[in-house]
Amino acid sequence: MRKAVVYFGVAVFYALHQDFWLWREARPLVFGVLPAGLFYHAAYMVVSSLLLWGLVRFLWPSHLENTATTRE
Amino acid sequence: MIPALVVFAYLGIVLFVGVLAFRTAGGPSNAEEYFLAGRSLGPTVFLLSLFGANMTAFSILGASGHAFANGIVTFGLMASSSALIIPLSIFVIGTRLWALGRRNGFMTTVQMFRDRWECGHIGTVIFAVQAALLVPYIVIAVMGGGTTLRTVSNGLVPYWLGGAVASLVVMGYVFLGGMRGTAWVNAIQTVLFLLFGTIAVAVVGAGMGGFREAVEAMLATPSTAPLLTRERISPLYFFSYTFIPLSSIAFPHIGIFCLTARRLGHFRKTIVLYPICMLAIWLPSVFLGVAANQARNIPAISEKIEARAALAGQGADVSDGERDRLRAQASGDDVILRLVQGYAPVWIFALLGAAVMAAVMASDSQILALSTMFTEDVFTFYGGKVRFGESAQVRTGRIFIVLFTLVAYLIALRVPQSIFDLATQYAFAGYAALTPLLVAALFWRGSTKWGALASTVWTAAAVLGVAVLQAVVPAPPPGGAVAVVSAGGIEVIMRGAAGTTVLGFLPVVPMTIISALLMVVVSKFTAASRPGPATLARYFELSSSTPQPAAVAG
């Protein structure tokens, strides 16, 4: 179940990269300088970092470290 | 002249770092120490160096140049999609590479492929294709070095000499310092660019009379307003670019970097902070590139804008030679340097020049990767090390690198394309199409060496096909496109100013999908050649514990 939720979450987030609703409009200018489309993708990167934090926090493959060291 | 001296001083510093790393390691006597820094990089150097290895001439000069001509779309095309997909691929694939490398002593991905699929010469074919696909990436580093030194010296150092100097310095510290020297230089360059990139944005903003005014003026001008939206780019084309970052983990230097971490836990910080580092580099690069369209008071930029307008207006009517001249003049690869030169005090321009040079020289990782691959995957594999000894192994690797860099240098002197287009159409597209090899090797028991060979040969053929097509069908003027193949009233393959599209997608999309299909279909038909249970157990016992990160992102 957890895997399915993660699959779905990553797929939805990947799809959100295609922000067709901001395609032809520069306004509003965020902070007076950043066109909406540029700000959206900058914010997308910040949210990417949060999503990755969640993956690292809750699904970290710590068993790989154990298998890697079994032959050392 | 001062900026050029500062850049040369920086080049001296990185050579010194190479010497320092050489002394720290006690010389390149141990191959694992030289090629993988003894698998001992700590978390901070691992983050900065892995990120620095991806932050190249493409990220700084290519991104700002592309944004200068195409607008804010550049950011969505490469930065935001990469910020998700690159760290995700490090999470899913890079961590496994690390574990397998540490357990089995692999130093290259080809060693892993040979072991995984119990093959020999097919591994050599994969090596050859990987090496050939690195050529465009090293070419753009030479181009970046030439462009940067020519700009900061006001033309005193010609393009050919700048490219040669950058190549020689990179080779110098890579040969001396190996992976440790490369990692240290990458860490320094990342910090340098993050620091002076921020200063450059502030200074250029003040020089332009404020970005707010500049952006409003662009919106009020019909010729520049579209640069602040994505109306000139189709959604299919935009979507295609989400395939490009798949290439990152398939690049040999990134795969090899994944083997250098001391502990698996060092990946954590890299994965989480990667998007933030990308944001800090790409947002200023793209924004300054777009804003440069309003810097018409800088003669060099004004000439570029006029050349672009002439190309768009009369491009179809002028001779091929004149079109090439206009295209070269309109090229925006040096636009960020021109902006800083126009608005910043000379000392800031000098320091930023050094920072850009640092980014340009990220080709160090690729050169070291090539050296590692050649010595391990060819020289050692075919018995050279046993017959001629370890010193001959290192010497042969260096000769290979010199010849390889020389070829890249000669290509860089003649190539007419922009840094951005060259990287995306050949290097990135090719490596994205090789990603199914990694996924199949690590996550699919049913994959076979013949499936791997089919994917690899297809990738080579497809990249070659795109290169030949673009050589045979000249690029139309900006905004135009020529139908090369049509069927049933549908334009299948189109040749545009910036490259080729297939049914509206970049070639990377069909290349990657067909590569994955070939892996599946050919492996199914050659199921008898699957590796034995002992080999499979070595790879898939990694999945026996929970949680299973492989399942996270498929």
- At A2 the pLDDT is 74
Which of A33, A39, A70, A72 is the mutation pick for testing B, counting most B CBs within 10 A? A33
- The CATH number covering residue B67 comes to 1.20.1730.10
B47, B106, B229, B290, best to mutate vs chain A, most A CBs in 10 Å: B229
Is the CB of B215 less than 8 angstroms away from the CB of A35? yes
Q: Residue B313's pLDDT is what?
A: 76
Domain count, chain A: 1
* pLDDT of B85 above 90: yes
Proportion of chain B above pLDDT 90, given as a percent: 30
Write the residue in B228, B242, B275 that is nearest to A26 by C-beta. Answer: B228
Q: Which of B140, B186, B418 minimizes the C-alpha distance to B289? A: B418
Q: Which residues contact B119 (CB under 8 A, 6 or more apart)?
A: B113, B449, B452
Q: Which amino acid appears at position B31 of this protein? A: A
What's the average model confidence in pLDDT over B135-145? 79
Q: Find all residues with CB under 8 Å of B405, minimum gap 6, and list them.
A: B138, B142, B167, B171, B367
State whether B552 and A45 contact (CB < 8 Å). Answer: no
Residues B422-448, mean pLDDT to the nearest whole number: 90
pLDDT score for B509:
95
SS3 category, B554: coil
- The mean per-residue pLDDT over the stretch B456-482 comes to 86
| 3-state DSSP assignment of residue A34 | strand
Considering CB atoms only, which of A26, A56, A62 is closest to B229?
A26
Burial tier of B468 (Cβ tally within 10 Å: 0-12, 13-18, 19+): exposed
Which residues constitute the domain of residue A7? 2-69
pLDDT band at B546 (very low <50, low <70, confident <90, very high): very low
The predicted pLDDT at position B196 comes to 74
pLDDT band at B417 (very low <50, low <70, confident <90, very high): low
Confidence category of residue B462, pLDDT binned at 50, 70, 90: very high
Q: Which of B455, B463, B448, B468 is nearest to B516 (CA)?
A: B455
Among candidate residues B515, B355, B360, the one with its CA nearest the CA of residue B10: B355
Residue B219 and residue B291: Cα distance in Å, rounded? Answer: 11
- Which residues touch B193 (CB under 8 Å, ≥6 apart)? B55, B60, B281, B355, B356, B358, B359
Q: What is the mean pLDDT of residues B443-467?
A: 95
Cβ within 8 Å, pair A68-B102: yes
User: Quick check: B552 pLDDT over 60?
Assistant: no
Residue B551 has pLDDT above 50, yes or no: no
Strand order in the sheet with B500-502: B481-487, B490-496, B500-502
Which range marks the domain in which residue B455 is found? 2-551
CB distance B253 to B366 below 8 Å: yes
What pLDDT, on the 0 to 100 scale, is given for residue A72?
A: 45
In tens, the pLDDT along A2-56 reads 778 888 889 999 999 999 999 998 999 999 999 999 999 999 999 999 999 999 9
Q: Name the residue type at position B530.
A: R
Report, as an integer, the average pLDDT of B7-13.
83
B131 CA: distance to closest CA in chain A (Å)? 28
Amino acid at site B505? F
Mean pLDDT of B269-284: 91
Triad B235, B82, B183: Cα angle to 5° = 155
Could you tell me the two tokens for B289?
A: 């590139």
Q: Which of B361-370, B371-380, B410-419, B439-448 has the highest mean pLDDT?
A: B439-448
Q: Does B265 touch chain A (CB under 8 A)?
A: yes
The interface predicted TM-score (ipTM) is 0.94
Contact (CB, 8 A) for B455 and B462: no
- Across the interface, of A17, A59, A69, the residue whose CB is closest to B242 is A17
3-state secondary structure of B28: coil
Q: Residue B321 — φ and ψ, nearest 5°? A: -65, -45
Q: Over the stretch B180-209, which tens digit does the pLDDT of each residue have? A: 777 788 788 778 777 777 788 888 888 888
Classify residue B299 as exposed, middle or buried by CB count within 10 Å of its CB (0-12, 13-18, 19+).
exposed
> CA-CA distance, B165 to B324, in Å (whole number)?
26
User: Which stretches of B391-507 are assigned E, i.e. beta strand?
Assistant: 481-487, 490-496, 500-502
Nearest Cβ partner for B268 among A10, A56, A70:
A56
